[in-house]
Amino acid sequence: MKLNISDLWRWDGEITRGGFAVWAMILFILKFNLDRILVGAIFHRDWSLFAYFLQPFPRIEGLSPAREPWEFAVLLAASLPFLWMGVVLCLKRLRNARLPLWLAVLFVIPVLKWFLFVALGLIPHRVVEQKEPAAKPARWIPESKIASAAVAMAASVMMALAAMVLSTTMLRQYGWGLFAGVPFAMGFLAAILHGVGKRRSAAESVGVAMLAVALAGGVLLAVALEGLICILMAAPLAFLLAALGALVGHVVQDSRWHCHRAHLCCVPVLALPLMLGTEAMRSDPPPLLQVVTAVEVDAPINCVWKHVVEFAELPPPEEAIFKLGIAYPIRAEINGAGPGAVRCCVFSTGPFVEPIEIWDEPRLLKFSVTANPSPMQEWTPFHEIHPPHLTGFMVSKQGQFCLTPLPGGRTKLEGTTWYQHGLWPADYWQLWSDHIIHTIHLRVLRHVKELSEAAAQS
């Protein structure tokens, strides 16, 4: 094995598995020590070895390019040469394995890059001009379309269930590996297995992956690992990533169809434990998120304040998400007055305990949250299930009601909730959680509006 320094910046040429592995190890050691020195000198913080496994660039908690442009520019400048060299090495290795060069884009995608690394480390060099005899398909994979699809789906579902149990039950992680890595791996493995006995079209590869994801959802519901609502919420992301995984698996399999090798099936099997294991070592906390909702009330501010602090029982919910099992507010009670008083907002699944921090009557009521009930009641064919994500994965931290007087004796009533959720990708799940909290806000604010306007007119 011969290493050439030009392999790190020239796009042309090829590199073997051994050269790729050695350069990858050297660059990783250099990058880690460079980042450790820069982060220590600029931010006076420690840098974790596991910070690289979920994003292509180093990430410092609280770093904002707008607030710290020079510091951010230094870290970005330090990352770009390594990004260039990493992509160049991946392209050379893909060229050496006679795989599509566009697969190098996976190098900059969190979690999915694990599949690229494992694949490039397993797939050997292939000479196009050399005619290789077609290998016989594995005996347990039939050639017929329906039978091979069934085997492909069964294998990918079993792999997915094992990964889900490892992530949620043993590691108690609902992260990138679970919601992005598992469906991508299902699609990749299903496409590879479905194409072993006979060349399949891209539509057939994607179709078997979609069916595998749907089957996995049904199995999760049947064995009481998850409820229907959470499965439906995760479905858009799962189907999208499974389709992407199936397309990648189809391209890889199709380009090597004349000479099938079992190690292609090892790629997702090896990549998933790596993803889930390194993710479990992540130390950064979930981001603190904020949802603000406002209504205008045709009543004076003092009248509105009375119904903000404490309100009677709300009517049964009409909103669809509450009928599907999402927890909804029922009434609010308070013990005492002023800072130190304890407010309890009773939901359908239990009470939120809210010690008052700021009592600025009649303008601001701010409180922390010391107890959270379950965020939902799962839909399930069983009497009751309690998956781990119902405890400690969507947590309200604090909230407030802000009242502002408006002309004509009217009041602007604004409710704010600060919360965290330990589900990743955070941006995807925030779409759901923000909508849920906004709907909860509206239920409370509209009830306060009705009570205040009725009292003002009486």
Q: Can you give the pLDDT at residue 331?
A: 92
Nearest to 117 by CA among 194, 64, 176, 56: 56
pLDDT tens digit string along 262-303?
456 777 777 778 777 777 666 567 788 999 999 999 999 999
How many other CB atoms are found less than 10 A from the CB of residue 317? 17
DSSP lists the bridge partners of residue 292 as: 416
Does residue 120 lie within any of the structural domains? no
- Residues 66 and 185 both lie in one domain: no
User: pLDDT higher for 257 or 72?
Assistant: 72
Does residue 126 lie within any of the structural domains? no
List C-alpha distances in Å: 176 to 54, 201, 202, 270, 375.
8, 29, 26, 16, 21
- Residues 442 and 327 both lie in one domain: yes
Cβ atoms of residues 270 and 388 within 8 Å: no
Q: What is the mean pLDDT of residues 411-419?
A: 96
- Residues 265 and 364 both lie in one domain: no
Domain end marker among 62, 78, 110? 110
pLDDT tens digit string along 304-360?
999 999 888 899 998 888 988 899 999 999 998 899 999 999 999 999 999 999 999
Q: What is the mean pLDDT of residues 376-403?
A: 82
Does residue 122 lie within any of the structural domains? no
- Residues 88 and 170 both lie in one domain: no
Q: Can you give the pLDDT at residue 56?
A: 44
Mean pLDDT of the chain: 83
Does residue 115 lie within any of the structural domains? no
Instruction: Find the CATH number of the domain harbouring 348.
Output: 3.30.530.20
- Residues 297 and 445 both lie in one domain: yes
- Residues 279 and 313 both lie in one domain: no
Domain end marker among 248, 264, 284? 284
- Residues 301 and 422 both lie in one domain: yes
- Residues 333 and 431 both lie in one domain: yes
- Residues 34 and 182 both lie in one domain: no
The span from the CA of 38 to the CA of 30, in Å, is: 12
Nearest to 259 by CA among 137, 368, 360: 137
pLDDT-wise least confident of 40-44, 80-84, 361-365: 40-44
- Residues 310 and 171 both lie in one domain: no
Q: Would you state the structure tokens that stand for residue 101, as one six-digit string?
A: 């060069």
Does residue 118 lie within any of the structural domains? no
Does residue 392 lie within any of the structural domains? yes
Domain around 50: 1-110
pTM over 0.75: no
Query: Is the pLDDT reported for residue 66 higher than 70?
Result: no
- Residues 309 and 278 both lie in one domain: no
User: pLDDT higher for 125 or 21?
Assistant: 21
Query: Is the pLDDT reported for residue 138 higher than 60?
Result: no
Q: Can you give the pLDDT at residue 71?
A: 63
Does residue 424 lie within any of the structural domains? yes
Query: Is the pLDDT reported for residue 415 higher than 80?
Result: yes
The identity of residue 54, as a single letter, is: L
Domain end marker among 223, 249, 284? 284
The span from the CA of 18 to the CA of 3, in Å, is: 10
Query: Is the pLDDT reported for residue 259 higher than 70?
Result: no
- How does DSSP assign 368-425, residue by residue? E--B---SB----SSS----GGGSSSEEEEEEEEEEEEETTTEEEEEEEEEEEE-BSS
Q: Can you give the pLDDT at residue 267?
A: 72
Percent share of the chain, pLDDT over 70: 85
Query: How many domains does the chain fold into?
Result: 3
- Residues 273 and 140 both lie in one domain: yes
Does residue 236 lie within any of the structural domains? yes
